[in-house]
Amino acid sequence: MHKSVDIIRLLKDNLPDTAEINEAAIIKDYEKVAGNATGIAVKILSVLGGVMASAAFLGFLFIVGLDSEVAILGLGLLGIFSGLMANKLLNNLVLDTAGITLFVTGFVLVGLGVHELKGSDITICLVMITLAFTAIIINQGYVIAFISSLIINISLIALINISDAPLLFHVYNAALVILFVLITIKEAAIFTSGSSFADLIGPFRLSLILSMLAGFMMVSLQTFMHGFYVYLPQISSAVAIGAMVYLSVLLSGRFNIRSVATKVLLYSAVVLCLLPTIMFPAIAASLLLITGNFYVNYKPGYVIGALALVYSICQYYYDLQITLLEKSIILMVSGLLMLAIFFVSKSVLKPDAKS
Amino acid sequence: MSTFNREELRIIFRNHPLPEETVSSLLNQHVYPDARSWKKFLRIGVLSLGCGFMLAGIVMFFAYNWDALHRFVKLGLIELVIVATTVVAVMIRQDSNIKNTILTAAAVLVGVLYAVFGQIYQTGANAYDFFLGWTMIISLWVLVSGFAPLWTIYLILVNTTIFLYADQLAPQWQAVTVFTILFVINTAVLLLFAWLARRSFARVPEWFLGILSLTVVTYATMGISAGIHDSYDSAFLILCSLSFLAYLYALRHAFAIRKTFLISIISFSIIVIICSALLKQSDGYEIFLLTAIFIITAVSVTIHHLIRLNKKWGGSQHA
């Protein structure tokens, strides 16, 4: 990490000489950030520890025997509230695990409590969404925001399934794609907005990526759930392909591609490459995740996207209702095409070639 | 001045109002990839997809098990492709990464050759000797290339061979014995690469050492946890002793290179092992409560120390 003096110098370099800078505030914030600088390993450690401790604590509660529905519900709400408060008031990474344990245990108990009180599955999902949404408003810490937004998305997916309205998956996927593109291209605007969302962009981006994958996989993997079929997967594909073309337009602007012929070639290549996969939207979504996350240099995002792409392509060919020989020919032709593009474009795509 | 990361820039954005254009320009300058990075990204992407599709196509061609093709033609064809790919890898005038990527494709094709052989002579697709043969045949290429992705495939093959051998020929082996063997082999490879990297004999990417460390710690954790629940035989004692020594050495190394990754995974491994030991004691409610309290306390103490170390080491690992 740079020193605070370097950060202040960078700010000064980008301001007029007469501008006043609150150096004390920057140094204070720097010390707080540097003091909590931990790397991804600590975040994973606190989440894994929290989930493991929750499992053990739930084991304890069930062996002790909680019979009263109201007690389960009350204990759950108390768990969520204590988790939030522990996390918010102490604002200390060290105590994150205790907060997460109470928070996760609380959600499981609330779900069970509502179920025991004869609440329908839809009620459980709505209660979860409301509580998770409230949690994000009350506590804006990284891990709580991440877990809460995941709970909201899992509940939304469950709601679509329970309502037996699979076509709503296209609406869900479209909404997530729009949000993903917005936080990708409007990051500067989010940072300057002064809203508290600027502090949540990290956990929100990660949970958005995971939720997008879940939503597109639900549409693509038709055999995933018994008797569950999402009609017209082309709708989700069209949204993801549209977003890919939009990112290509922005990229051609960023790198000053002025030739109309090159632009048309670029956009057509994106559409033509993705059109054959229109029945399996997860492929276009994975490519969108790779491109969008590389666009903002978010490494975990494009690694997740790359893994999802490999899985999606394998699953797509596995599900394809043609003979292995036909699959083989298609794959080899695609491979040759890609290798031809690689060698032909060698001079254009050489890292040190002028853009 | 070197580039700043997103979190460092956000310290500025939070404390000083800047116009959106300036924020955007700072992000473009310091965080977002430039034209050179995009070109590298596209080159790697297109090459990986090209090689991946070609390999998958070849695998499916032979999986089709075309009756019209005589078995010698099938074997001859795949051998021809292997020879051609290897010749291209040696002769092509490209940088070493591209040559090694093509050689990796050839190494995967050797597996296809074995699979076709197994298909023709009905030797089974999951026989351990299938993987053993594949592993041995590509050993020289792996050594010569020194290419981390090819080494990763090689180690996956070695581990698969041992798993299948234990399953098919040594079913009497306890889980802890299998994990001990895997632990010893992977630790030896990890130590070798760490030594090569430290002596600058080879360029070993950090992700490769990270994956290998994670593998070794996983085997130690699973083996000792399995041993706690199954038996306390000699393999269990050997694994405990070796893991103890390996963890001590790794912690010493982590402090020397000032990285918290190894400390994190080793701490988590020890927490899981102690939880297994606690849960073995009884299945009463007290033990579950004690385990939950232990996990919270142990993880909190670990995080506290990791933050302190990170601060002391200059917070260089902020992600």
Write the pLDDT tens digit of every residue in A175-209.
999 999 999 999 999 988 877 778 888 889 999 99
Same domain flag for A273 and A304: yes
3-state SS, residue B93: coil
CA dihedral B45, B50, B55, B58 (to 10 degrees): 160
Q: What domain count does chain A have?
A: 3
Same domain flag for A227 and A278: yes
Residue burial B28-51, b: 16+ Cβ < 10 Å; e: rest: eebbbeeeeebbebbbebbbbbbb
Q: Is the minimum CB–CB distance between A39 and chain B shorter than 8 Å?
A: yes
User: Token pair 């506590």 is at which residue?
Assistant: A139
Number of helices (H) and strands (E) in chain B: give both, helices first: 12, 0
Chain B residue numbers touching A290 (CB-CB < 8 A): 45
Same domain flag for A171 and A317: yes
Going by C-alpha positions, the residue among A206, A183, A220, A172 that lies closest to residue A302 is A206
Cβ B274 vs Cβ B298: under 8 Å: yes
Q: What is the pLDDT of residue A94?
A: 65
The residue-averaged pLDDT of A256-270 equals 87
Same domain flag for A180 and A311: yes
Q: What is the pLDDT of residue B266?
A: 94
Residue B317: is its pLDDT beyond 50?
A: no
A354 band by pLDDT with thresholds 50, 70 and 90: very low
Q: Is the minimum CB–CB distance between A24 and chain B shorter than 8 Å?
A: no
Name the minimum distance, in Å, from the CA of A156 to any CA of chain B: 30
Cβ A100 vs Cβ B303: under 8 Å: no
Same domain flag for A142 and A222: no
Q: Is the minimum CB–CB distance between B303 and chain A shorter than 8 Å?
A: yes
How high does pLDDT run on average in chain B?
Answer: 87
The residue-averaged pLDDT of A3-13 equals 75
Confirm whether A83 is domain-assigned. yes
Measured between alpha carbons, how far is B239 from B202 in angstroms, rounded to an integer?
30
The residue-averaged pLDDT of B156-178 equals 91
Residue B56 has its nearest CB partner, among A41, A297, A331, at A331
- The winner for highest mean pLDDT among A27-41, A320-334, B239-253 is B239-253
Domain boundary among A104, A136, A164: A164
Q: Which domain holds residue A335?
A: 328-355
Cβ A72 vs Cβ A113: under 8 Å: yes
Confirm whether A310 is domain-assigned. yes
Comparing A265-274, B78-87, B203-212, B228-237, the range with the smallest average pLDDT is B228-237
Same domain flag for A58 and A138: yes
Domain boundary among A164, A185, A200: A164
Neighbours of B111 (CB within 10 A): 20
Nearest chain A Cα to B64, which residue?
Answer: A324
Confirm whether A136 is domain-assigned. yes
Structure tokens at A110: 């609330």
3-state SS, residue B174: coil
Confirm whether A229 is domain-assigned. yes
Confirm whether A26 is domain-assigned. no
Same domain flag for A204 and A226: yes
Same domain flag for A311 and A188: yes
Residue A170's Cβ-count burial label (10 Å; 0-12, 13-18, 19+) is buried
Chain B residue numbers touching A188 (CB-CB < 8 A): 20, 23-24, 27
Same domain flag for A134 and A45: yes
Chain B residue numbers touching A79 (CB-CB < 8 A): none
Same domain flag for A135 and A200: no
CB contact under 8 A, B285 and A198: no
- The DSSP secondary structure of B266-283, one letter per residue, reads HHHHHHHHHHHHHHHH--
CB contact under 8 A, A37 and B318: yes
Alpha-carbon dihedral sign for residues A42, A46, A48, A53: positive
Residue A6: is its pLDDT beyond 90?
A: no
Measured between alpha carbons, how far is A270 from A273 in angstroms, rounded to an integer?
5
Same domain flag for A159 and A190: no
Q: Give per-residue pLDDT as tens, A201-230.
A: 888 999 999 999 999 998 888 655 555 677
Which is more confident, A353 or B301?
A: B301
Same domain flag for A159 and A83: yes
Q: Is the minimum CB–CB distance between A286 and chain B shorter than 8 Å?
A: no
Measured between alpha carbons, how far is A63 from A75 in angstroms, rounded to an integer?
16
| Long-range contacts of residues A306-311, Cβ cutoff 8 Å, at least 24 apart | A308/A213, A308/A282, A309/A283, A310/B52
Interface of B with A in 23-82 (CB under 8 A): 23-28, 31-33, 35-43, 45-47, 49-61, 63-64, 66
pTM of the model: 0.83
